Amino acid sequence: KAGVTQTPRYLIKTRGQQVTLSCSPISGHRSVSWYQQTPGQGLQFLFEYFSETQRNKGNFPGRFSGRQFSNSRSEMNVSTLELGDSALYLCASSLIGDSPLHFGNGTRLTVT
Amino acid sequence: TQLLEQSPQFLSIQEGENLTVYCNSSSVFSSLQWYRQEPGEGPVLLVTVVTGGEVKKLKRLTFQFGDARKDSSLHITAAQPGDTGLYLCGVRVGNQFYFGTGTSLTVIP
């Protein structure tokens, strides 16, 4: 069974640009959540999608958005990038909302 | 304020030593999970504890959930270099998952 796949693995962008990250969950998993990981703040929740609906959103500005498709694949978008957006972005899928999280290996975003 | 506080933040020990890391909160949880994250990878689930006072063992790792379900500990016996990584505790509250601040463990051969 294939794990959670995130693309791309590495990304370098400049301030003001926008970026789209992709996440393919484990087959059959309907819940996808996104997290930002930085050395200073640790692992912080961005948002969760279940059956194409955003169920919850963390404390991040509106520049961070996401969506989920009918096949459960998910994308997150960050517009008007800032230096502080440099981080490892992790996606996790779960069978239903309460089941354990299965993480991808993340996308390392560097904003210069 | 962090929902889950982990201690210590960093730990560097020699191979063969024992260690304990802690995950504390003032809130009560229905369950708590421990994850390990190795460099360049995403976190991987180690265990879920559900019952107050529960003890679970995974080879040399022993996990305990506090009686009041507010805290948890992870004890590693005879640590090995392969145990090196970031240990995270996490809980689900509603539709959101919260992680602790993490303990970065380095086991020196």
Among B88, B94, B97, beta carbon nearest to A33: B97
Structure confidence at residue A97 as a pLDDT band (50, 70, 90): low
Alpha carbon distance B9, B105 (integer Å): 9
Q: What proportion of chain B, given as a percentage, has pLDDT over 70?
A: 99
Residue B38: CA count within 13 A, CB half-sphere: 8
Q: Do B92 and A98 touch (CB under 8 A)?
A: yes
Task: Name the one residue in this structure whose structure tokens are 């270099």.
Answer: B81
Cβ neighbors of B1 (< 8 A, separation 6 or more) are none
Give the CA diameter of chain B. Answer: 42
Q: Is A38 on the interface with B (CB under 8 A)?
A: no
Q: Do B42 and A104 touch (CB under 8 A)?
A: yes
Average pLDDT, integer, range B45-64 = 96
* Chain A nearest C-alpha distance from B67 (Å): 22
- What mean pLDDT is reported for chain A? 94
- Confidence (pLDDT) at A100: 86
**pLDDT single digits (tens) A17-42:** 999 999 999 999 999 999 999 988 88
Q: For residues B1 and A69, which has the higher predicted lDDT (pLDDT)?
A: A69
Structure-token pair, residue A21: 């990250």
* Chain B nearest C-alpha distance from A12 (Å): 17
Residue A1 has pLDDT above 90, yes or no: no
Beta pairing partners, B33: B48, B90
Q: Is A67 on the interface with B (CB under 8 A)?
A: no
- What mean pLDDT is reported for chain B? 95
